[in-house]
Each structure stands twice: as structure tokens, then as C-alpha cells.
Structure 1
Amino acid sequence: MRSIALIPARLNATRFPEKLLMPIKGKSVISRTYESAVNTELFDEVYVVSDSDRIIEEIDKIGGKTYKSQKEYESGTDRIAELAANMDADVFVNIQGDEPFVQKSPLQKLLQVFEGDYGKSTQVASLVQRLKDPELIADPNFVKVVLDMRMNAMYFSRSPIPYWRNKNFPISYYEHIGVYAFRKKALMDFVEWPMTPLEIAEKIECLRFLENGVPIRMVLTQYMGVEIDMPEDIARAEAYLEQMALQ
């Protein structure tokens, strides 16, 4: 199965501008993301897709593959679709540029849901992990997802979902990790559809698939590292690297 990883990279993030160029122990966030994806050895090709010359230059310095997008896009999925339209692969994987510690095992499990007879029906898949910290469950920067009995996403929200009314019944909260995998047709359909009402309201791009009736298969994984959303996440990322060095 031919798979290609595409890393959308926007320079001016709303909450933390230029975060992808911020150093984590001497190496930028986007460089660490690219190298982590390559080092999994799961992909036939890995590209960073950006409209920023500075990000392109950053990846060029480490000998990485880049593509400069020709337009400005609202979402990373829209951005990578411009390149994917002219590429052949069984599965395209969207790895967010602010995920500097992506690991092989979760990505391998993500690709496996497209394999075999069972996987033929899978059009879109993504990753989740259990979320236990009450502060993070309440934090709108952590996107939550509720799942059906077959591990398909029912809804994504920045609000704590489900609402835990019956305290006598234990429930699990799941955080959506911003890594997606698509069949090419699903990716091309996504960019043809207009933004949907819930997507606009929540600012969560994958809701566009659900609102158009396309199921998203979710894959449960362990924590993949530290996602860089806010300035304080740089210190968390450096602490994470120190912890990994001790193991």
C-alpha cells in the first residue's frame, strides 16, 4: 500500500504566531515534525506543504521535501489537497506541523485500518487518546470526540462531551489528535464541499466530513508527545525530550 505523509504548515497561527519556527532545544517545531514523520519509515514520501517562504527554507536546510501552496487556505486539509491532487497514493496522511513527536506505532495502526477487505470501506481515519485530566477535558483547545460502538466518530467538539449527568455510570473522554488519513477521493471531495455550519461554529475541520455523511474511523492510541498550541507548550516539549532521553 503506497502512503504519502503531507504536513500542512501555516506560519501565522492565531494563538501562537510563528510557533512552527520556535526552537525546541535548538531545532524548530516544524523540523522536528518532519524528521519524526520520516523516521517512522512508514511513508513512501513526506512533504511539508506551506505558503510561507520561511517554513520552506527551514525544511530545505535539513534536506527535506517541500511544496509551496499557491493559495491561502482555511484548513490544513485544504492546503495538502492542492499537492495530493497531482500525486498517486492509496492513502494520504495529514500530520499537523505542530506535532513534533509523532511516533511510528500510532501511525502504523492508522494505516492498518485501510488494509484488507475490512479496510476497503474506510475512507477517512484519525487518532484519539483517552483524556483524564478534568482541566484538559474542560479546555477548548483540546478537541473532544464521542465514539460509536464501532469506533467511528459521532461528533467532535471543543466542549466537554459527553455531558456526564449520571455520575453512577463511568464514562471515558477522548481527545482528538490532529492526524488524519484519507483515500484520495475523500480528500478531493472535502475540498469541493463548502465549509459546513458545525465546522464554522466549532472551528474543527473534520466536522465537514461528518456533516456530509462520511464516517471517520478512530484509532485509539497512547499519548504521542506534546502538541504545540501555546507558548508554554515549548517548555513542556523540552521537558518531554529530557524525559525521553532518560528512558
Structure 2
Amino acid sequence: MAADTSHHIIGLIPSRWGSSRFPGKPLHPIAGKPLVQHVWERVCRCSRLDAIAIATDDQRIFDAAVSFGARAIMTSPDHPSGSDRLAEAVRSFPAATHVVNIQGDEPLIDPALIDRLAEALVSDEALSMATVACPISTREDLDNPNIVKVALARNGDALYFSRSVIPYARHPRVAPPLRHLGIYAYRRDFLENYVRWAPTPLEQTESLEQLRALENGARIRVILTDHVSVGVDTPEQAEQVEQILLNIH
């Protein structure tokens, strides 16, 4: 539990049944437990979170979460984005001042990274959001439009996110490219306003929701890490993660 009484930080794990590549992914068994349970157990190791819950639109996931001891929140199946689902779920926590959105398909997420993210946000009241990035080490990743890149200001705030290669490498060793990792922390009041804003031109062009925040003048702090956990988007990746977990234990 967090010792800071001036902030109440909650961790929310969105978990949906539908997936074009891997339907039912949250309950897929990995090393004897559902995928989403592995994520929840990792998040429970965090020291900066005051409460944790799984937010879902599916009764099967809700029931499974309750069965392994998690708090579960049922949300509407009609949300256009993950942020909208998050904003609905946070209503179940009236005291919450900040919320961390943890991907439900990251069973190897580092709890210390979540704590760093939460701390970065609450330590600067002028920030609206915080997120994470890591160095890009291969040309394949750099050219992959499914791997989002981020360029930073000198104070660590995001200047821009893109599916294209940024910055353009006229002098590549001056500003090495960074990969954006999809974990976010929000001030609660900002999140509630953010989901009311209409989609913005750059957001729609790149299909990157976080650009809506930048286009409306919000500050997003980016913390850097070398830790890139293995996510689960396919059954093959689930097998890879299972081997890692079995080797750990």
C-alpha cells in the first residue's frame, strides 16, 4: 500500500474478451492460471497503488477475476476506446486522484516500472499524464508502423508520437529513437475531461489516441526504461510467456 495520503492512486487492468487474433485471451491458461491473473498478481506487488481492479465488459472475465480474489468492475461493451472504459471504471473509486492503466496482456510487467510511472505523475502537479518508452535497437522495429515512436523534449515531456520514424536520422547518434510502451498514468480530473473531447486531426491521422492530449496542450511525461516485457497477442506468444514463467518458478 502507498504511504502518501495526499494522493489516492488506483491501478486498473482493462480486460476484453474480443480479439481478432486471439479471442478469449484474458482467460487463456498460462502456467496453470488465466493470463489476466498473472497480470493482476504482478500489479499487486506495486507499492504506490492504493487499490487495484480489473475492468471488463464480459461476465466470464468478471467471474474469473472474482474467483481468484481480484476486484472486478463491469463496464459497458460500447466504449470507443480504452480511455473511455477507464473513465467509467474510475467512477467506482470516488477517492481516486490518479489512475494507472495497465495492459491486461502483459503478464511479465515490472511492478517497479508501474511504481516509477505513478511517482513521476504525482511528483509534478502540472502534468496531465505519464507514460513509458525504451530505446529501439533494430531497424525492423524502427520501420514497423505497429511500434509507436516518441520524441521527447529536454525535460522528458513528449513532443510527438508517431507510427513513422521519428526523429529523422540525419545524425542518428544525437537523438536515438524511442519506442513508446502502452502503459499510462492519468490525473483523474484530466482523464474525465479527456474522454469528453472530440477526436483530433493528428489523432485520427495516426490512429493514436494519446495525440488528442498533445493537440489540446496537455503535458505527458515519459519515463525511460530498458525493461520491455513480452506481451501476449497470439497463442504462440502465450506459449513463449509460459516457458519464461515456468523457468522463473
Same fold? TM cut 0.5: yes
3-state DSSP class of the match of 1:16?
Answer: coil
Q: Give 1:234's match in structure 2, choosing from 234, 238, 242.
A: 238
1:185-230 deviation line (CA, Å, top 9, x unaligned): 1100111112223223333221111121111100112214212233
1:62-93 deviation line (CA, Å, top 9, x unaligned): 01100001341122111010121352222111
1:92-111 deviation line (CA, Å, top 9, x unaligned): 11111111122222112112
3-state DSSP class of the match of 1:187?
Answer: helix
In the alignment, is residue 148 of structure 1 matched against residue 153 of structure 2?
yes
Residue equivalent to 1:94? 101
Distance 1:183 1:115, change over 3 A: closer
Distance 1:13 1:210, change over 3 A: farther
In the alignment, is residue 107 of structure 1 matched against residue 114 of structure 2?
yes
Q: Give 1:19's match in structure 2, choosing from 14, 25, 44.
A: 25
Tell me the distance in 2 between the aligned counterparts of 1:14 and 1:190.
27
| Letter in structure 2 aligned against 1:113 | A
In the alignment, is residue 210 of structure 1 matched against residue 217 of structure 2?
no
3-state DSSP class of the match of 1:129?
Answer: strand
3-state DSSP class of the match of 1:195?
Answer: coil
State the Cα RMSD in Å: 2.0
Residue equivalent to 1:191? 195
> How many residues are treated as equivalent by the alignment?
242
Q: Give 2:82's match in structure 1, choosing from 53, 76, 80.
A: 76
In the alignment, is residue 157 of structure 1 matched against residue 166 of structure 2?
no
> Displacement, 1:49?
0.7
> Displacement, 1:164?
1.7
Residue equivalent to 1:10? 16
Q: Give 1:135's match in structure 2, choosing from 121, 140, 143.
A: 140
> Displacement, 1:170?
4.3
Tell me the distance in 2 between the aligned counterparts of 1:90 and 1:55.
26
In the alignment, is residue 121 of structure 1 matched against residue 126 of structure 2?
yes
User: Is contact 1:42-1:104 (8 Å) kept?
Assistant: no
In the alignment, is residue 200 of structure 1 matched against residue 207 of structure 2?
no
Tell me the distance in 2 between the aligned counterparts of 1:215 and 1:227.
27
Q: Provide the TM-score with structure 2 as the length reference.
A: 0.88
Residue equivalent to 1:222? 226
| Letter in structure 2 aligned against 1:136 | D
1:141-164 deviation line (CA, Å, top 9, x unaligned): 222111111111111122222222
State which drifts further: 52-61 or 194-203.
194-203
| Letter in structure 2 aligned against 1:34 | W
> Displacement, 1:121?
1.1
Tell me the distance in 1 between the aligned counterparts of 2:30 and 2:147.
21
> Displacement, 1:243?
4.9
User: Is contact 2:121-2:221 (8 Å) kept?
Assistant: no
Q: Identity percentage over the alignment?
A: 35
Tell me the distance in 1 between the aligned counterparts of 2:187 and 2:115.
16
Tell me the distance in 2 between the aligned counterparts of 1:77 and 1:36.
22
Distance 1:15 1:215, change over 3 A: farther
State which drifts further: 91-100 or 221-230.
221-230
Aligned residue runs from structure 1 range 11-90, under 5 A = 11-86=17-92, 87-90=94-97
Q: Which runs of 5+ in 2 are unaligned?
A: 1-6
Q: Provide the TM-score with structure 1 as the length reference.
A: 0.89
